[in-house]
Amino acid sequence: MRILTRYLLRSHIGPFFFSLTILTSLLFINNVARRFEELAGKGLPVTVILEVFALSFPHILALTMPMAVLVAVLHAFSTLAADNEITALKASGVSLRRLLIPLILSSAALGAFMVYFNDRILPETNHLLKARLIDIARKSPVFTMKEQVINNIQTEDLRTRFFLQAAQINPATNELKDVVIYDMSIPGRDRTVYADSGRMAFNREQTDLFLVLYHGWVNEMRESDPLSFQRVFFNEQMLELEGIGNQLERSTEEFRSDREMSLAQLSAMVDTARSELQTVRKSALPHNRAAIEEVLSSKMSPFDPDGTTRRTQIEIKVLESRAQAAQQRVNQYRVEWHKKFAIPFACIVFVLLGAPLAVRFPRGGVGMVIAVSLGIFGIYYASLIGGETLGDRGWVAPFWGPWAPNFLFLLISIWGLIRIGSESSSARSGGWVDLWLAFRDFFSRSRRAA
């Protein structure tokens, strides 16, 4: 039996790593395609772009590992069935359910590693990725300039320095009002530009800043010759600043979302949110409800002359809003906590689901493996996203949000395992036609039962 166990594991290892590589590469290429233009248009160093892509890799890997398990099981068992090895094992008295034990144990080990991965590695990489994307978004001066503040604008060579102040800045149109620019680019020269309005624009790489100023004047004076004061009026003037914002300022983002927390951090946040919720519900909220009932039942004027009723109603709404926000945070943290276990558990579910399917339809080949895998992936992850949304909003219990897809496929797997010992397909059947007939018969029985 040890020889058979080793043979089964070897038949799964190759397809597992091959499918893991292909699936991870496809999702990684998709991520590169979505972000590359945005990152390349910022004038960022290559090392920063590579860092962003490297930090995106763990999130992709957390999704593709369960998918690779399903592909490996489907491919290995369909190959065994197509080569009549399953038939030979049956004739030798080997139970097909017994063959799944080493695969279940290996998938459980992979699931345990994924729990560690989701708890320790994935939150940190998600947090670093978010911080880096925020730093990149802040890189352009459009996002850092503030109204009625002297903004320091420094070029890449660290020698050309400007200070810009504007009474109003429209971030949508990049328009400026009441502009004052202090030019400190040349030592010993004081140059100040005043303009009634202006407009900012950037080159395609978002590295050079162009300032178009309207209706203003320029005051210029040199320290070596104080009598050489000059004032020049203009209707339109362009100022070009090269190499603006090429230096990426790395910040340390303290706030973490639920996907950037470990299991211990999520549990602590759940306790904090529950404590706040209990405080609002048990003390303040019942007290104010009693107060508003007393006000409404009193013999005051129906027009509420002193505004007591209105103020109490506002207090009630504020407290109810706080309670709803606290409850939503509890739901979100609990859903994320369960999801760190639900996705790794899918490795075991996919083993139990893939083996009966592969034995029943062995002649579909690689096309059958890909089609069935894509269908199961789509249903599973769509259900996972939908369940997570329902759990966050409190429409279902936080436990059932991420775990419902696992239980759904687990029930189908149990039904398949019950029938796996009575399968009668051979190398001459179990192809696409049989798959279509099986689906047709299933839906026909469902309609007759309804």
* pLDDT tens for the 450 residues of the chain, in order: 678 888 889 989 999 999 999 999 999 999 888 887 767 656 677 888 889 899 999 999 999 999 999 999 999 888 888 888 887 887 877 777 788 889 999 999 999 999 999 999 999 999 999 888 877 766 655 556 778 888 877 665 555 578 888 888 887 788 899 999 888 777 778 889 999 999 988 776 666 778 899 999 998 888 777 777 888 999 998 888 776 655 566 766 678 889 999 999 999 999 998 888 887 776 654 555 555 555 455 544 454 555 555 566 666 676 777 788 888 889 999 999 999 999 999 999 999 999 888 887 766 567 778 888 888 999 999 999 999 999 998 899 999 999 999 999 999 998 888 876 554 444 444 444 555 555 555 556 555 555
The overall pTM is greater than 0.85: no
Q: Please, is 303 exposed, middle or buried when counting C-beta atoms within 10 Å of its C-beta (0-12, 13-18, 19+)?
A: exposed
Q: Categorise residue 178: left if φ over 0, alpha if ψ from -120 to 50, beta otherwise.
A: left
The predicted-structure confidence for 95-147, as pLDDT tens digits, reads as follows 777 888 899 999 999 999 999 999 999 999 999 998 888 777 666 555 567 78
Q: Extract the tokens encoding 384.
A: 């996972």
- CA–CA distance, 61 with 440 (Å, rounded to integer): 36
- CA–CA distance, 448 with 450 (Å, rounded to integer): 5
pLDDT averaged over every residue in the chain: 80
What backbone torsions phi and psi does residue 229 show, to the nearest 5 degrees? Answer: -70, 135
Task: Give the three-state DSSP class for 38.
Answer: helix
Task: Give the three-state DSSP class for 417.
Answer: helix
pLDDT at 71: 93
The predicted-structure confidence for 46-96, as pLDDT tens digits, reads as follows 888 889 899 999 999 999 999 999 999 999 888 888 888 887 887 877 777
SS (H, E, C) 299-333: CCCCCCCCCHHHHHHHHHHHHHHHHHHHHHHHHHH
